Structure 1
Amino acid sequence: MEMQKQKIGKWLLGALLILVVPNCLFWILEPKVSLSRGVFVAEYLLIACLYPLINRKLFITIWILFAVYDLVYATSSLFFMDFMEMVHALAKIPELALIDWLKWGGLLILFILIIFTLVKGLIRYEASYRIMHLRFLWPLIVLAGVVFFVSKKEIVSVPTWSVVKAVQHAVFVSTAKHNIDYLGSAAKTVFWQEPAAAATNKEALILVESWGLLTDQKLHSDVVQPLYELVQNHQYTIREGTASYKYLTQAGEFRELTGCVFHYYLVRDKWVKDSSLLIKKQEQGYHVIGVHGNTSKFYRRNVFWPVLGVQEMYFIEQLNTLQLPLCGSNEFRGICDTVINTWLLNNMNRQPDRKEFYYWVTLNTHLPLVEVHDEAYNNFARQWKEQGITENTLQMAYQQKGLFRDLAGKLSKPGSPKAHILLVGDHAPPFIDPADRKMYDANRVPYIELIPN
C-alpha cells in the first residue's frame, strides 16, 4: 500500500512538472504582455514523448524552437487570421534601427536561455523518474485533446493547429470558404444603395489606422469632438455607430469592403467580387480612387485593390512625385495623413461633376507611434491621466483627434467639396501591454458618417 502511494505521488509530481515547466514563463509574462494562449499548450506533451527516441541535443533544439514559435503565436494570433499572414507580416516589416534589433535580439536570447534552463531541469528530473515517454504522458495527452476539442481553448491551446489550417486552406481552397467570418460592414450599410439624384457625387470611405472604440465614453467624445463642429456650422449631419472587428488592417479592409473577413488567397473568388462595395460603386457610375501613404507592396495592396474594384491608385510611389512631406515612425514612414486630407479634397474639386468614390487607408497612427510631448498634448492629457488613462492610449487618442481636427477644418473652409464621408476604425491599437489593451473594446470599432447638408 505504501509503495502504491509513492508511485501515485511520483506520477502526480511528474504530471505537475510536465504541465508547469513549459508554461510557467508565459504565466509570468502574461500580466505585462498581451497573450492569446491557453493556460497549457498541448504540443509540449507530444514533444516530451520524443525524448527517448532522439538525440538529447536535437530534443532540446526542438523544444526551444517550439517555445519561440509559441511566443510568436501567443503575442500575434490575436491580430492575424492564420499563420501565413503572420509570416507575411514578419517578412514585410520595414528595416529596424540597430538599437531596436539589439533590444529585441537581447530579449529573445534571454527568453531562450530561460527555456533552456527549464528544459535542462526537466531532463534532470527525467533521469530519476522517467516522465518523458508516451506510457507516462498518454492520459495527459488525451485529456488535453478532449479539452481543446470541446472549445476550451482558454485552458488548452494548440498553436500548431493554425499552421495545419493555413496549409489546408492554401492547398484545398474549396474548404477555406467554411472559414469566412461574416462580420458586416459599416461602409456597405452607408454606401451600398445608390444615392438620390440630388445627393453629392463625391463619396469617401476613410479607414482610420488603429482607431479602436475607447471604453471611456467621455474620452471617445473628446477625440471626435472636432468633427461635431461641422454640425454646429450646419454644414454636415453626423451619425455615429460601432462595427465588429477582428485581427489587423488587412482584415479591416476586407471587412469594410465586403462585409467578411477571409484569407488573402480567396480574394480572387467570384463571391468576393460580387460582395465588393467598390465594384458596386463602379456599377453605379463612380470612378473608384484608392490612396494610402505607404508603399503599395505592403499587404499586397497593389494586387488586391484592383481585384476589389480600385481603378486608380495612389501610394507613396506616386505621391512622392509631388514632393509631399513624410510623417510617422521609421518603421512605417509615409505621406502625412494631414497632407492627404488636403490632397483628397483638392482632388475632389478637380472634376466636380464626375462621380467619384475615394477609398483611403490612413497611416500615421500605425504603431509604433512618434510620440508628441508639446504643450498642447500636455493640456489634453492632464485630465485623462488623473482618471487612469494610460500614456500610450492618450498618445493615440491625441493624434487621432488631430487628424479629425485637420479634416473638419478643411471641410469647413469655403470652396471645399460637399462630400459624403465615412470614417471607420480598422482595429483597436495592438498594444502589447494588457493595461493599454483594456482601454479599448475587444470586439468593436467606432465609425462616424458625415452627411453634407
Structure 2
Amino acid sequence: MLNFSLFQRDFSLPRPSCKQWGALALCLILPNILFWLLTWFTIGQRTIFNVDYLLAMVCFLLPFRITKILGVIIFWLAVFFDAIMFTIYFFPFIDLSSLRYLLPFFSIAPKIYQIAIFVFLAYALILPIFMKKIAKWQNPWLATAAIAIFMMFSVVDKDLGLSWVSSQFGFYKKVSKSNFAIFSQKMPTLSPYPANKETASRRLLQPHSDKILYIVAESWGSARKDSMQKDILKNIYQQENLLEFIHAGYFDFSGATVQGEIRELCQLRIDTGFALNLLEKNQFSTCLPNVLKAQNYQTFALHNTNGQLYERVDWYPKAGFQHIQFGDGMSGLTRCTAFNGICDWEMPNQIMKTFSAHTNQKIFYYWLTLSAHNTYYAEDIKTTRFQCEQYGLNPAGEMCRNSKLNVQLMDSVATLIARPEMKGVEVIIVGDHMPPILDGEDTRQHLRWNEVSWLHFKIK
C-alpha cells in the first residue's frame, strides 16, 4: 500500500500490480504501434506518442456505456487524423477537401493505397475492442496519473518545439491552416500565382507559336545529379539538330497535380479546396486555352484516365478546351496500373494524329500524363536503357521505378520530334510535383526537395 498524510489524515492508495502496469503500457503502445512501424518502414516523421488516444482512454476508464461509445468515436477520429498527418508528410497537398474528391476513385487507385486504407479501417475497428477490455485491468489512479503526465508533456512539447508527445489533430489544424467551415463549403479560392515564383508557361514564345504541345508530367521531380537528369532526357537531346532551341531547368513547387495544372494553364493558385466544378466560368477567363481560343486556336486536352477525377470533365471546358479526351472514353489501347488509365507511351501516337489532322490550323494541345503516378509499378515499365545503379538508386526502389517511368515518357515524346506532322511545334514539358517516395529511400540525396523539372524546345 502507498501511504501519505494530508492535514494529519492518512490516505492509502492501492499499489499497482504487474498486470495493471502491463495494462497501462498496452494502452500507451497499442494505439501508436501501427504508426511506429510505418514510420520505421518509410523513414517518415511522426510524434512518438499521440495524446489524442488518451482522451479515448479516459472514456474507456469511466464506468458508463455512453462514455465507452464516446471513447470509440474519439479513437476513430484520432486514427483518422493520425493517418492524415502521416500521409501529409509524403503528400503535402492532402487535406480533408482533397480526400473528398479522391475517395470516389478508390476502386481504381493503386493497390498499395487500397491496402493502406483497409489496414487503417481494420485497425480503427478492432483496436477499440481491445482497449475497452484492457481498461478493465487498469488501476484508475495509475492511469489518471499517466494521462496527466502525458498531457503535461504535450504542453511542454508544444512550447519547446519537441516532437515525442503531441496531438496529431492539433498538428493537422496547424499544418492545414484550415477549418471545418472551409471544408464544408468545398469551394476553392483562386488567386494570381505569385509573380516571383516560376512557372513553365511563362517561357512560352511571344508572340505565341502556331503549334504548341504542352505536357504536364506526373511526378517528374528534379534529379540532383546533372548526369542523371541528362540521361532521363537523352533521347530528346540526341535530336538537338532537329530543334530550333532547347532549354531546361527546375523550380520549386509543392502541391497536388490539379494545383500544378492550374499553375501552368491559368497562372493561378488554389488556396482552399479542389472543387473547381463549383466555380463560375468567368474565373477561368485568363487561362491559356481561353486566351488562345480567342486567337483562333483549336484547343485540345488529353488525360489518360477518368475525367471525373478532380472534376476535370467539368472545369476543362471552363478553362477553354474545345476538344477533350479522357482515358475512360478510349478503347483498344494498353492500360497501365495507375488508376487503370491508358499507358503514357500510347499517347504520342494520338497526339501526332491530331496535329496531322489540323495542319492548317493553330493548335494548343495539352496532355496531362499518368503512368508515373505513385507507386510506380514495375509492370508498367518497358524501357531498359536507364541503369539505376549508375546513380546510386536502389534498383528495386520507388525512385528507380519513378525515374524509369520518366525516361519512358521522355523517350516516347522524343519519337515525335522527327515526325513531319510535328514541324514547327513548340513543346513544353513540366512536372506537376516532386515524386512522393514511400519506401524509405533517402529522397533528398537524389532529388531536389519540392522541385519540379521543365524542358522547353521547338521543332524545326
* Shorter-chain TM-score tier: 0.7 to 0.9
Aligned CA distance change for structure 1 residues 94 and 185 (closer, same or farther; 3 Å): farther
Q: 2:402 aligns with which of 377, 396, 406?
A: 396
* Alpha-carbon distance between aligned partners in 2 of 1:178 and 1:19, rounded to the nearest angstrom: 43
CA contact (8 A) 2:56 2:75 kept: no
Query: Once the 2 structures are TM-superposed, how far is the Cα of residue 333 of structure 1 from its aligned partner?
Result: 2.3
Query: Once the 2 structures are TM-superposed, how far is the Cα of residue 188 of structure 1 from its aligned partner?
Result: 2.9
Aligned CA distance change for structure 1 residues 297 and 129 (closer, same or farther; 3 Å): same
Counterpart residue number, 1:423:
429
Return 269-278 or 60-69, whichever deviates more.
269-278
Query: Once the 2 structures are TM-superposed, how far is the Cα of residue 302 of structure 1 from its aligned partner?
Result: 0.5
SS at match of 1:435: coil
TM-score under structure 2 length normalisation: 0.77
CA contact (8 A) 1:83 1:166 kept: no
* Alpha-carbon distance between aligned partners in 2 of 1:152 and 1:171, rounded to the nearest angstrom: 30
Counterpart residue number, 1:211:
220
Counterpart residue number, 2:324:
313
Counterpart residue number, 1:248:
256
Cα deviation, 1:188-238, whole Å, max 9, x if unaligned, reads 3123x7426xxx30112101112122334322221111111221x242411
Cα deviation, 1:322-347, whole Å, max 9, x if unaligned, reads x4412201x52233322321221221
Q: Which amino acid aligns with 1:429?
A: P
1:410 paired with 2:416, answer: yes
CA contact (8 A) 1:372 1:395 kept: no
Counterpart residue number, 1:303:
314
Cα deviation, 1:24-72, whole Å, max 9, x if unaligned, reads 5423421213646445545335444545485364255235423431343
1:32 paired with 2:38, answer: no
Counterpart residue number, 2:207:
195
* Alpha-carbon distance between aligned partners in 1 of 2:159 and 2:453, rounded to the nearest angstrom: 38
1:222 paired with 2:256, answer: no
Aligned CA distance change for structure 1 residues 99 and 361 (closer, same or farther; 3 Å): closer
1:328 paired with 2:341, answer: no
* Alpha-carbon distance between aligned partners in 2 of 1:366 and 1:416, rounded to the nearest angstrom: 27
SS at match of 1:131: helix
CA contact (8 A) 1:201 1:353 kept: no
CA contact (8 A) 1:295 1:316 kept: yes
Counterpart residue number, 1:347:
354
Aligned CA distance change for structure 1 residues 303 and 96 (closer, same or farther; 3 Å): closer
Aligned CA distance change for structure 1 residues 171 and 449 (closer, same or farther; 3 Å): same
CA contact (8 A) 1:428 1:445 kept: yes
Q: Which amino acid aligns with 2:339?
A: F
CA contact (8 A) 1:268 1:307 kept: no
Return 135-144 or 208-217, whichever deviates more.
135-144
Counterpart residue number, 1:442:
449
Q: Which amino acid aligns with 1:423?
A: I
Cα deviation, 1:104-128, whole Å, max 9, x if unaligned, reads 7467536865676567556644534
Aligned CA distance change for structure 1 residues 85 and 427 (closer, same or farther; 3 Å): same
Cα deviation, 1:224-264, whole Å, max 9, x if unaligned, reads 11111221x24241111113222332222122223423322
Counterpart residue number, 2:290:
279
* Alpha-carbon distance between aligned partners in 2 of 1:380 and 1:429, rounded to the nearest angstrom: 18
Aligned CA distance change for structure 1 residues 22 and 107 (closer, same or farther; 3 Å): closer
* Alpha-carbon distance between aligned partners in 2 of 1:273 and 1:306, rounded to the nearest angstrom: 10
CA contact (8 A) 2:376 2:405 kept: no
SS at match of 2:455: strand
1:260 paired with 2:269, answer: yes
1:43 paired with 2:52, answer: yes
Return 440-449 or 258-267, whichever deviates more.
258-267
Counterpart residue number, 1:65:
76
SS at match of 2:458: strand
Q: 1:85 aligns with which of 85, 90, 98?
A: 98
Q: Which amino acid aligns with 1:357?
A: F
Return 290-299 or 69-78, whichever deviates more.
69-78
* Alpha-carbon distance between aligned partners in 2 of 1:194 and 1:426, rounded to the nearest angstrom: 23
Q: Which amino acid aligns with 2:305?
A: N
* Alpha-carbon distance between aligned partners in 1 of 2:148 and 2:373, rounded to the nearest angstrom: 50
Query: Once the 2 structures are TM-superposed, how far is the Cα of residue 140 of structure 1 from its aligned partner?
Result: 5.0
* Alpha-carbon distance between aligned partners in 2 of 1:244 and 1:405, rounded to the nearest angstrom: 25
* Alpha-carbon distance between aligned partners in 2 of 1:352 and 1:214, rounded to the nearest angstrom: 37
Q: 1:384 aligns with which of 381, 384, 390?
A: 390
* Alpha-carbon distance between aligned partners in 2 of 1:220 and 1:328, rounded to the nearest angstrom: 24
CA contact (8 A) 2:252 2:450 kept: yes
* Alpha-carbon distance between aligned partners in 2 of 1:153 and 1:126, rounded to the nearest angstrom: 25
Cα deviation, 1:149-170, whole Å, max 9, x if unaligned, reads x898996542663899353224
Q: RMSD of the alignment, in Å?
A: 4.4
Query: Once the 2 structures are TM-superposed, how far is the Cα of residue 390 of structure 1 from its aligned partner?
Result: 5.0
CA contact (8 A) 1:369 1:396 kept: yes
Query: Once the 2 structures are TM-superposed, how far is the Cα of residue 134 of structure 1 from its aligned partner?
Result: 8.8
Query: Once the 2 structures are TM-superposed, how far is the Cα of residue 179 of structure 1 from its aligned partner?
Result: 9.5
* Alpha-carbon distance between aligned partners in 1 of 2:44 and 2:54, rounded to the nearest angstrom: 21
* Alpha-carbon distance between aligned partners in 2 of 1:446 and 1:152, rounded to the nearest angstrom: 33
CA contact (8 A) 1:278 1:308 kept: yes
Identity %: 19
Aligned CA distance change for structure 1 residues 43 and 391 (closer, same or farther; 3 Å): closer
* Alpha-carbon distance between aligned partners in 2 of 1:69 and 1:286, rounded to the nearest angstrom: 47
Counterpart residue number, 2:439:
433
* Alpha-carbon distance between aligned partners in 2 of 1:178 and 1:414, rounded to the nearest angstrom: 40
Query: Once the 2 structures are TM-superposed, how far is the Cα of residue 269 of structure 1 from its aligned partner?
Result: 5.8
Query: What runs of 5+ residues in structure 2 fail to find an aligned partner?
Result: 6-11
Counterpart residue number, 2:140:
127
Return 128-137 or 290-299, whichever deviates more.
128-137
